[in-house]
Amino acid sequence: MKLTGQKIAVVGTGTIGAQVLWQLAKKNVDVTGYELYSPGHSRGAAGGETRLFRHLEPEYVEYLPVTSRADEIWNELEMESGSRLRNLNGALMIGSESSPSTANALGAADRLGSGAEVFTRSDSQKRFPQYSLNDDEIAILDKAAGTIYPERTVRAAADAAAKRGARIVRECRVDDIQQESDRVSISTGDETELYDRVIVAAGAWTSILLPDMAQFLATRRLLSGWFLPAAGKGIDGMLPFMRLDPNYSYGLPTADGLAMKLGVGFPHHLPVATPDTAPMRITDADLEPVRAVAKDLFPDLDDYPMRAQAYFEAYTHSRREYMNFHPTMSNVFVCAGFSGKGFKNSPFFGELAADTILGRKPSIPEAQFILDFDHVAQLPV
């Protein structure tokens, strides 16, 4: 029997939305998901074959219990779906000894205890010779970190939700969301349906669907490049990594171990109005920041990518996720701006959104700061 008096919709079934859908279905809620394409597509923020799961936190150590809870739910989803969604063989965090981000990461490493190991530049060159660190850089090994398979994860969560009774409307564009008294209407083409509550997790489409959210979000096109090893070289033993400011970059080996995917941060992402009209062609100038990572950090890689792909994401001005009710529609809960922490913590964010829309407290009290964060105070003057 479905939870009495609750008919809920989730708009967007990608990185966060699929997790929300699964959590609501687990709670026996009458829930419907709306998806512009199909769960597991590569057009939004979840494409690219790999994402980084890590415990080390270079910015806000209050996320450590959030990641621990997400780790538990990851394991639950793998058991329920029967799919391997992560490969946790370790990951590196590389940073300048003088960087505040490195200091935060070292503090997180202390809290992880035996789960992390710190290497001087000299020691890291011996242990991880395929990474060419700068003279002032160190490396921290996050032993329980590794690779997430994003498209597989989104599909697994959506399928698990469907098996528990969730309805998923695929290849369907939501045209309008409006609160009418104590209910919320969702319009798609010539049809309109009413719900008690709506959760919007539409990623880079959020500002188009909810214009009042545009003030909080910056929509960007980001790139990944896949690099083969140079002639006579290989990438055996290379781990996923994150390099901290001021040389921020990240990378993960492909599942077959034949290439390394590299990416760079927000300053190099192209501002776009909407993914529907954004340019998809990638120029050599677009690739330069990613190629610079290969040239600087990886002497064993070819410096021209074998392929490159564009994706779309919405960032908040604070770079911290927006998880709160809509500014003017009290029955609409918005999940947006997750880039950087989204995929690794997505199972917990899904649980948090589901609990909040049902009027329940977070499963871990330490996570209340996410809901309480004041995004209005972060708006540009």
Centre a 10 Å sphere on the Cβ of residue 180 and count the other Cβ atoms it contains: 11
This model's pTM is above 0.85: yes
- Tokens 């002497």 correspond to 299
The candidate with the shortest Cα–Cα distance to 169, out of 37, 72, 365, 318, is 37
pLDDT digits (tens, 9 = 90+) for 73-127: 999 999 999 999 999 999 999 999 999 999 999 999 999 999 999 999 999 999 9
- Tokens read off for 92: 């590196």
- Label the pairing between strands 86-87 and 197-200: unpaired
User: Residues of the chain whose pLDDT is less than 70?
Assistant: 1-4, 340
Q: What single letter denotes the amino acid at residue 229?
A: P
- Tokens read off for 367: 């996570």
- What pLDDT sits at residue 3? 54
The candidate with the shortest Cα–Cα distance to 17, out of 40, 43, 48, 47, is 40
- What pLDDT sits at residue 340? 67
Angstrom distances, CA of residue 140 to CA of 104, 108, 129, 169, 344: 12, 10, 14, 44, 18
Domains with residue ranges and CATH for the chain: 7-47+151-217+318-378 (3.50.50.60)
- Report the Cα 89 to chain-centroid distance in Å: 20
